[in-house]
Amino acid sequence: MQWSGELQSGYLLKRYKRFLADVVLDNGTEITVHCPNTGAMTGCAEPGSRVWLSVSENPKRKYSMTWELLETAAGNKVCIHSALANTLVAEALGDARISPLASYPLWQREKKLASGSRMDFYAAATADLPECYLEVKSVTLDCGDGLGAFPDAVSKRASRHIDDLLVLRECGARVVLLFAVLHEGIARVTPAAAIDPAYARNLREAVAAGLEVFAYKAEISAVHMALSAVVPVYV
């Protein structure tokens, strides 16, 4: 994906109230910006970090800038806009870059289930393939030595998505969980058992029951982003 306009750069002063951050731009102006990440953002919200912001032309917005990227002390870029993981996956699916799923010709976003829940992506059955449901999770928690983990805080919602996938699996569908790694320093992924042991246990049991799990890492810059490389997942 290409950013819709040139990103503005500066330095993070602080993140607060989950949705807000104060930034000093390169020209010295201090502003408040929207933070599009409700997670703990462990290691991704350190004061003094270099950040990049997108600019909205919508006059109704209270804060015209949105925090998109951060550079860690180790020099790794991170996309903290977690919702963009689905945009990157949609592009990768459309370009057949996610090889285990490349045989499906068409993907639908936001597939509503009978339970009322939604799956991020759905592909109808073909003559050779069963229908497929795909859920996406964004990974930015760097545990050191190239290891990334999900989630970065206890997430009952993430566990519920696994439960939904298993119900679909029991009905004969193919079910997939894809970790979109939005941190340049992460080279492998695991469930964050120390943070959310229930999720880690649920994921292990789901894999044993037929859930497929993949992880793809994004190339990240102030010009574009794209999922490009497969990284291993250790459940």
How far is the CA of 192 from the CAs of 18, 49, 197, in angstroms? 21, 24, 7
Please report the pLDDT score of residue 4 as a whole number.
87
Please report the pLDDT score of residue 116 as a whole number.
79
Please report the pLDDT score of residue 75 as a whole number.
95
**CA-to-CA distance for 183 and 25, rounded, in angstroms?**
23
Global pTM exceeds 0.85: yes
Please report the pLDDT score of residue 226 as a whole number.
97
Please report the pLDDT score of residue 38 as a whole number.
85
Please report the pLDDT score of residue 114 as a whole number.
80
- Helices 197-208, 156-170: axis angle to 10 degrees equals 10
Report, as ranges of residue numbers, the positions in the chain whose pLDDT lies below 70: none
Which has the closest alpha carbon to 72: 32, 106, 43, 100?
Answer: 43
Domains plus CATH for the chain? 8-79 (2.40.50.580), 84-230 (3.40.1350.60)
